[in-house]
Amino acid sequence: MALLQISEPGLSTLPHQHRLAVGIDLGTTNSLVATVRNGISVVLNDADGRALLPSVVRYLPDGEVQVGEGAQVAQNEDPANTIVSVKRFMGRGLRDIGDVSGSPYRFVDSASTGSGQGPGMVQLRTVAGVKSPVEVSAEILKQLRLRAEAALGGELVGAVITVPAYFDDAQRQATKDAAKLAGLNVLRLLNEPTAAAIAYGLDNASEGVYAVYDLGGGTFDISILRLSRGVFEVLAANGDSALGGDDFDHRIYCWVLEKNNLPPLGAHDIRLLLTRARAAKEELSDHAETRITAVLSSGEVIDNVLTQHDFHEMSRNLVARTMQPLRRALRDAGLKADEIKGVVMVGGATRMPQVQHAVAEFFQQAPLTNLDPDKVVALGAAIQANVLAGNRSGDDWLLLDVIPLSLGIEIMGGLTEKIVPRNSTIPTARAQEFTTFRDGQTTLSVHVVQGERELVADCRSLARFELRGIPPMVAGAARIRVTFQVDADGLLSVSAREMTSGVEASVVVKPSYGLSDDEISRMLQDSFSHAEADMRARALSEAKVEAERLLEAVAAALAEDGGLLSAQERAAVDARMDALRARLAGDAASAVKMATDGLNLATAQFAARRMDASVKRALTGHRLDELDV
């Protein structure tokens, strides 16, 4: 932690030259804003001295918008117009949300609103009109911007905004759009676990390998980072994006339903009991028991006592679900638990004793708790914002973040060719050369996908574009370089260039809505559980592509030089071709390969005769002394 900074005479920054920049943690449950003062990162409070701004927005009939505490108080009485946990909807389509029968919100598809948010982007109907998650998030960000400008006494030059490590392109773009709508200049989107590591690393002058355990309101992330002489390198990231503090609330809610034998409830009572469940969860972090009371719309009175022991038992499997991503992250980083120097706890849900106990048991050491888990992300983001604003030399330390899922393109046979593997350091640029499949091919379709599976059908489509104007060549002669560029915010652009002619095409990947948290988590889990099946499928597809290529080549050769074969030889080749076509209808890669080898063997003598005939035609009419030997 820097207590005193000494500069050479004439080189120090004058007070009026200090640029005002902030770090913002746009959270599912609460949001914060922080800045760097006198070399120290601090959270900015509101006029009442509160650091946390509840991420709750309420729309009123007269057009007024309530944000934070006021909206949170009204969430039980006006659930349809009070938006809670909007972060779960960022960059997601209506089909991604799943079952909405128990939700108090009235969802609509933007395709029917003309909002311009893109087909499939989820919208919410309120008394103030249809609102997108981008607009709702913008209200939260606007409130934080006003708080910061009031506290700092001037206009901000920009902000670093944190996002979950597993946010995809569309979700990151939605966050940037919300910031722009709120009047903020985004200096950088920063992964939340990385921001926490920055706060710990710089405040404690730490070095070594650290794990960042981030259990927030809606998601769980685990990141493994190496801190060494001012370099912050993310080695691996993993998580369970369908798990967060809200799930612990839901367990208590279900316990209340079962305890009181309640029938299906309306939206008002659901929101009321979930609010009581959250309060009970927080109370049990410091007390052995708590009382849950509520009066339902039917007049029925709820009055139950929940003990800390019972809560730990009912949430045991939720805590256990965080352990598998820990193991995967360590495996990806090539490390063991005993090689981790410290564990940083991030997110309010990590205050639960059962979570801290499980983490301590897994790593065989007590987690670091000297920084507030609610504030540590905003503090780290503020440090990064201070650097990017030019108030501190960027040479003091270097940040190396990673992408959470592999990026690649579709190749023949419906296979995925990964160009940028997951956990690659960003910003990054990777290129790979491809070629044409057919003679005279002048157009190449590039299909950009994201995911860990071998087949395109099991990955997520991000974008498509075409490279036109490829000079006609024989199959395999063209050299087409496909380049992927991922910027520091994790946003992707792709280009394709034919190397001999120079023709080029490109696309900036901006899907209308992106991967759901569940899909991202499922992609990673599927990549492990289906690894063997994927390899078999890839082997089969590759064998079929090679077989089809051989069949086309043999058919063309027979059409041109079939007279070189006797009737009996021709029949043998035709039989081998029929046998190969029959194998193509099956699902055994070994059988396809065996039939392909059989056709190659049957046509070996034919190929030799064609070569002899070609040489003979080339020599016909020439004397020996005319040849350049």
Catalytic residues: 25, 87, 192, 214
Sheet of strand 398-402, all strands in order from the earlier edge strand to the far edge = 342-346, 208-215, 220-228, 231-240, 398-402, 425-426
Q: Which of 397, 441, 395, 404 is nearest to 426 (CA)?
A: 404
How many other CB atoms are there within 10 angstroms of residue 582's CB atom?
11
Task: Give the helix ranges, DSSP H, for 182-234.
Answer: 192-204
Euclidean distance between CA atoms 291 and 284, whole angstroms: 10
Contact 411, 417 (CB under 8 A): yes
SS3 state at 439: coil
Q: HEC profile for 291-322?
A: EEEEECCCCCEEEEEEEHHHHHHHCHHHHHHC
Q: 455 to each of 30, 175, 245, 480, 493, how far by Cα in Å? A: 39, 30, 34, 22, 22
Euclidean distance between CA atoms 106 and 164, whole angstroms: 26
Residue 620 in tokens: 């016909």
Q: What is the DSSP string of 508-564?
A: E---SS---HHHHHHHHHHHHHTHHHHHHHHHHHHHHHHHHHHHHHHHHHHHHHGGG
Q: What is the DSSP string of 153-189?
A: TS--SEEEEEE-TT--HHHHHHHHHHHHHTT--EEEE
The residue count of the chain comes to 629
